[in-house]
């Protein structure tokens, strides 16, 4: 079992929303930090190692991009070099921004040799890439595994491979691999199911455009939320339409942090606010009518009412049968 995260880890998935500009990537990283994201994440790959030149576009890629020829051409347009990725790492380190990458090939994963990077993110599409997973298993870092488009056995197999060499800290992210994902297909109940089955921290990689779904995920156990971020939903590119803009991402974080506060901690305790009302709303034992000294207390002459003090109502049956040591008037607090 992983050591539990103290609060929800919020990952701003900038991905390729930098549109190939390192200057834009840096700007988005700063904006993500300023609105409260814990980590910024980018995608690092070498197109030649990722896709063939004849691979067709996904529906969302074709719909939201000017490039209509192939995934190869699209990916090439948004590719950043390894040296540019190192530049991003140094920039984030200088500005106290935690950075992470999704890597898609055996060369790009060398970015994880950088000590400043604390997490390795494995995208859903690489869950059955055992060559890549085997090489990643050698790194002594925390792992975040997205499991979109995968079944239980594939998840289990991936975890087993990642745990080669030594036991890893692996966080699983429930994910619907569509862009944008439909609310009707989110199936957030998968989160507690995965937690129970794999006995590890679970999160959500959310491709919907909702600012509320992450809070719902946290309410049922998610400890990590990853969400795409852009500063302009109208830009041309495969992910801008399925991303939250800066304003909405900030709202999402505000909602999520409020949800954490509302959820509180496990266990039952009386809050300071309700404690001050406790004696005013609970009942105490009083005389139902006049009671003479020496008379036995009974259901005929005792009742319980709100009085603010006295003998609590839960002692009612313990007092029945005892004799009054003094006389009592109607509604007078009983003293034994």
CB 10 within 8 A of CB 223: no
The three-state DSSP-derived secondary structure of the chain is CCCCCCCCEEEEEEECCCCCCHHHHHHHHHHHHHCCCCEEEEEECCHHHHCCCCCCCCHHHHHCCCCCCCHHHHHHHHCCCHHHHHHHHHHHHHCCCEEEEEECCCCHHHHHHCCCCCEEEECHHHCCCHHHHHHHCCCCCEEEEECCCCCHHHHHHHHHHHCCCCCCCEEEEEECCCCCCCHHHCCCCHHHHHHHHHCCCEEEEECCCCCCHHHHHHHCCCCEEEEEECCCCCCCCCCHHHCECHHHHHHHHHHHHHHHHHHCCCCCCCCHHHHHHHHHHCEEEEECCCECCCCECCCCCEEEEECCCCCEHHHHHHHCCCECCCCECCCCECCC
pLDDT, position 151:
96
pLDDT, position 180:
92
pLDDT at 305 over 70: yes
pLDDT at 65 over 50: yes
CB 330 within 8 A of CB 289: yes
pLDDT, position 56:
78
Per-residue confidence at 115, pLDDT binned at 50, 70, 90? very high
Over residues 169-228, the pLDDT tens digits come to: 999 999 999 989 999 999 999 999 999 999 999 999 999 999 999 999 999 999 999 999
Over residues 229-257, the pLDDT tens digits come to: 999 998 988 889 889 999 999 999 999 99
Q: What does the mean pLDDT of the chain come to?
A: 94
Distance set, CA 304 to CA 285, 328, 332, 336 (Å):
4, 14, 11, 15
pLDDT, position 87:
98
Over residues 264-295, the pLDDT tens digits come to: 988 888 889 999 999 999 999 999 999 999 99
pLDDT, position 61:
64
pLDDT at 3 over 80: no
pLDDT, position 334:
97
pLDDT at 157 over 60: yes
Output the six-digit token pair for 289. 């009518």
Mean pLDDT, residues 45-70: 76
Instruction: Measure the CA–CA gap between 177 and 150, rounded to whole angstroms.
Output: 10
pTM above 0.85, yes or no: yes
pLDDT at 70 over 90: no
pLDDT, position 66:
60
pLDDT at 4 over 90: no
CA-closest candidate to residue 293, choices 254, 332, 259:
332
């Amino acid at each position: 079992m992983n050591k539990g995260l103290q609060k929800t880890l919020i990952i701003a998935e900038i991905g390729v929303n930098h549109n190939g500009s390192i200057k834009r990537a840096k700007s988005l990283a700063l904006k993500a930090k300023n609105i409260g994201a814990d980590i910024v994440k980018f995608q690092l790959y070498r197109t030649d190692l990722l896709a063939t030149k004849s691979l067709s576009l996904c529906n969302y890629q074709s719909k939201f991009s000017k490039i209509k020829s192939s995934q190869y051409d699209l990916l090439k347009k948004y590719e950043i070099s390894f040296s540019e990725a190192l530049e991003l790492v140094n920039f984030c380190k200088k500005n106290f921004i935690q950075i992470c990458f999704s890597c898609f090939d055996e060369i790009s994963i060398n970015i994880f040799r950088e000590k400043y990077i604390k997490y390795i993110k494995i995208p859903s599409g690489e869950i059955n890439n055992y060559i890549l997973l085997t090489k990643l298993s050698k790194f002594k870092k925390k792992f975040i595994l997205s499991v979109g488009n995968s079944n239980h056995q594939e998840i289990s197999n991936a975890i087993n491979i990642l745990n080669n060499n030594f036991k890893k800290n692996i966080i699983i992210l429930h994910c619907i691999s569509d862009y944008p994902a439909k609310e009707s297909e989110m199936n957030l109940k998968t989160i507690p199911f995965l937690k129970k089955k794999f006995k590890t921290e679970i999160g959500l990689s959310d491709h919907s455009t909702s600012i509320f779904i992450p809070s719902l995920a946290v309410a049922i156990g998610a400890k990590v939320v990853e969400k795409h971020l852009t500063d302009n939903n109208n830009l041309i590119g495969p992910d801008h339409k399925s991303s939250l803009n800066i304003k909405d991402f900030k709202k999402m974080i505000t909602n999520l942090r409020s949800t954490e506060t509302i959820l509180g901690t496990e266990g039952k305790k009386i809050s300071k606010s309700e404690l001050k009302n406790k004696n005013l709303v609970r009942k105490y034992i009083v005389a139902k009518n006049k009671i003479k000294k020496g008379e036995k207390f009974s259901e005929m002459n005792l009742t319980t009412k709100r009085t603010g003090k006295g003998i609590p109502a839960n002692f009612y049956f313990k007092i029945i049968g005892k004799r009054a040591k003094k006389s009592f008037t109607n509604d007078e607090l009983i003293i034994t």
